[in-house]
Chains A and B, each alone.
Chain A
Amino acid sequence: MSAAVSRSAIRSILAASLPVAACGVQLLCWPIVAPAVWFFFYPTVFFSSWLGGRQAGLAATGLATLLVWWHFLPPVHVVAKPGPSPYLTAALFMVMGTLFSLFHERLRRATRRAADHEVLKTRAAAATLLREQADLLDRMSRLAKVGGWSFDTRTLQGTWSPEVARIHDLDPSYQPNVRSGLDFYHQEDRPILARAVQEAMETGRPYDLELRLVTARGRLRWVHSICDPVLEGGRVVRVHGALQDTTERKETELALRASEAGYRSIFEQAGAGVVEVDGATGRFLRVNARFCQFVGYSEAELLGRSFPELTFPADLAQDLLQTRRLASGDLQEYATEKRYLHKSGAIVWGALNARLLHREPGGACALVSIVLDITEHRRAQAELDRLHATLEQRVLDRTTELQAANQELESFAYAVSHDLRAPLRAMDGFSQALLDDCGPALTPEGKAHLGLIMAASRRMGGLIDGILRLSRASRCELVRIPVDLSALAEACLAELASSEPARRVQWRVQPGLLAQGDFRLLEAAMVNLLGNAWKYTAGTPEARIDVAQVELGDRPWIRIRDNGCGFDMAYADKLFKPFQRLHRQDEFPGLGIGLATVQRIVQRHGGELTALGAPGHGADFYLFLPTPMPMPQPFQESA
């Protein structure tokens, strides 16, 4: 500043003293230029004012006037030469000198103003550029999540860019230092960074680290920290560097690594064979141990082969077609069961599921197939199918046999009913004829014998009828209709009463006992049960028969109760077996088929029959038929 001032002052003084030089030159050239006394002075004041400005110009003008007045103008009183008056020329010169000074002053100001304006303009443009650059930097910083930082090694104080503050979840105005900066790092990574920072500050060694940072808000972030120490005179004066938030990239990388580890684990440990094959050639790219075991080749042997070589020829065409469709993207997934050729030459069955694994930009692609060994399953299935087929055949054979046996039984029953009766009739008939025709000739003993023959033949007839009824109860078609058991029982008892009018039996039947079943069979059952009750109360003075519904074990049972001779429960198991009797013929005659027939009828209806009794205390027969029965009506007595 002071130098500039002194330079300008020197220039002003030099400019102001230019008229002295002009005076010297004019004195030397006076013979040539005389009498033009102002000849050299006009240009001199012009240059003075040009070089020195207004003040130098005015000073030069005054000095020039004085020099001319002194050296070149003759005294006014000496000569009166013709020409302009010296006063006039001096005044003109002074006016001109003043004008030059003012002109140059204006010129200089204008020039300076123009220059100043130019400077200002340039400065503003630079500032705008700077701001734009800073803005761009900040934006790039945010996008790249990269910030810069710098620390003084002596004070340990420093600055960082707003992005670094943001990465720390801090306000940009936060003033960091080395120690507080370190505190943000994960406790496992902090010692690593501390050592690196120390080395950088002491020896100037840069570092480049991947670290975990815990932000002011407690969030864990992965960062990439780079440090570049600044050396001055062999000493580290500053450390500066960059910090990038790499959390997303790191997380993606970790997820990818986990996914890859998972795939590898599945690939290696899977219970199924896993293979990767080239989509174009079918060559094995990667095979797992399970697949090697499945086809009997080692991994090395397989990697030199392609899957078509290992495929059973009959399954190959379909396999190749589907593989091509997978490779071309026509098909997302392909599943099949196919045969492989085991190294031993055997055929093994695999359940295959193939998908596209990845496609390279060049068009080549890899497929991944999962192959389950289903050889054993197939074998078992085949065996099962075979068994199934033979089973069906066996069932068919057996059914045919049963049908034949049934047919035979039918014929037998028919023969029994028809042909076995005729001889009996002859025995009875001719015994009677003998008795009628030759009675008088016979002894009483002979007549008695004939009587026994007749009784035996009738009894045999009764047995045949019983067997037929039992057989019919087992094989006839069941036609279910609603049956009024009360009405049946009443009719049956009435008939019994009319067949033996001498007997006095009191009975009561609960009305409204309904069942769903075959009328004829249920009728036969009631006839048998009530017939028994009738028969076995023969020796009871006040015989009573009672038919009613009772609840036992949540089920409605029909109870047929009599107060007859009863039976011993010890023999209850014989009660319902054919031809088994609990009474001697001379006590109560009978065939031993009735209750067996009732049992068969009840079973065919899906019901149950049971009996309770004690000798001399009557018998209770319980009959259950599985059909809903309406509420019974009150008792009605009858005799």
Chain B
Amino acid sequence: MNALPILMVEDNHEDELLTLRSLHKVNLANAVDVVRDGQQALDYLFREGEFASRPGSDLPAFVLLDLGLPRLSGLDVLARIRADPRTTALPVVIFTSSSEEEDRLASALRGANSFVRKPIDFAAFAEKVARLGIYWLAVNEPPLAGR
């Protein structure tokens, strides 16, 4: 299990707290960096703007990306991540309230690695977060490991 941080892009403060709580429950050692809109997410990844002098490793272990974001939407962020050679291979998990067919299709076509719907039932929510954290940090072998 690598110690890279997880980048969570989430504008809803409650969802952020619930996600962090769920991740914490499974005792993951990885830090969780939170940004609150699409532009911030890109600045974080490409070390621009307020994140120009961001400390730590280059890229997170994976990105937990909400779709309904202020300024730049989740799908736009995903497209920019895939368009840039530095982040083409970065695992991106779409984590959203939406279950619209269009969103799932658009995410897949833009190169999302996974699409996870946020359930309302917190028990189910916590379980999904825990499982996807374990999967992407411990089960999955990322192409960029060690960078």
| A contact residues vs B (CB 8 Å cutoff) | 414, 417-419, 421-426, 428-433, 454, 457-458, 460-461, 465, 468, 476
Contacts and interface: CB of A to CB of B under 8 A. Distances in A.
B21 interface: yes
B97 A417 contact: yes
Interface centre among A414, A417, A424, A429, by most B CB within 10 Å?
A: A429
A432 B97 contact: no
Nearest to B102: A414
A430 B97 contact: no
A432 B123 contact: yes
Interface string B1-41: 00000000000101101100100000000000000000000
B2 to A, nearest CB: 28
A476 B101 CA distance: 10
B21 A421 contact: no
A429 B96 CA distance: 16
Interface string B106-126: 000000000000111111011
Nearest to B68: A418
Nearest to B123: A432
A91 B49 CA distance: 197
Given A419-B68, A429-B125, A458 B120 contact: yes
Given A422-B14, A422-B15, A428 B99 contact: no
B78 interface: no
B87 interface: no
B84 interface: no
B97 A419 contact: yes
Contacts of A468: 99
B18 A426 contact: yes
Nearest to A468: B99
Nearest to A422: B12
Contacts of B120: 421, 424-425, 428, 457-458, 460-461
Contacts of B14: 422-423, 425-426, 429-430
A584 to B, nearest CB: 23
Contacts of A423: 14
B90 interface: no
B50 interface: no
Interface in B65-114: 67-68, 96-101
Contacts of B98: 414, 417-418
A468 B120 CA distance: 15
A458 B119 CA distance: 9
Contact of A422 (B97, B99, B121, B126): B97
Of the candidates B18, B97, B123, the one having the most CB atoms from chain A within 10 angstroms of its own CB is B97
Nearest to A428: B122
A601 to B, nearest CB: 16
- Residue picked from B96, B98, B120, B122, most chain A C-beta under 10 Å: B120
A419 B14 CA distance: 12
A433 B15 contact: no
Nearest to A417: B98
6 contacts: A414-B100, A429-B18, A429-B122, A430-B17, A432-B123, A461-B121
A562 to B, nearest CB: 29
B122 A432 contact: yes
Contacts of A430: 14, 17-18
Given A428-B121, A461-B119, 11 more contacts: A414-B100, A417-B99, A425-B120, A425-B122, A426-B15, A426-B18, A428-B120, A429-B21, A430-B14, A430-B18, A433-B122
Contacts of A417: 97-100
B15 A425 contact: yes
Contacts of B99: 417, 465, 468
Contacts of B123: 432
Nearest to A413: B100
A476 B12 CA distance: 29
B124 to A, nearest CB: 10
Contacts of B122: 425, 428-429, 431-433, 454
Contacts of B100: 414, 417
B142 to A, nearest CB: 29
Nearest to A437: B21
B65 to A, nearest CB: 14
Nearest to B121: A458
Contact of B119 (A425, A426, A431, A432): A425
A469 to B, nearest CB: 10
Nearest to B11: A422
Contacts of B18: 425-426, 429-430, 433
Contacts of B126: 432
B22 to A, nearest CB: 9
Contacts of B97: 417-419, 421-422, 425
Contacts of A421: 97, 118, 120
A460 B122 CA distance: 14
Contacts of B17: 429-430
Contacts of A424: 120
A477 B100 CA distance: 14
A422 B13 CA distance: 10
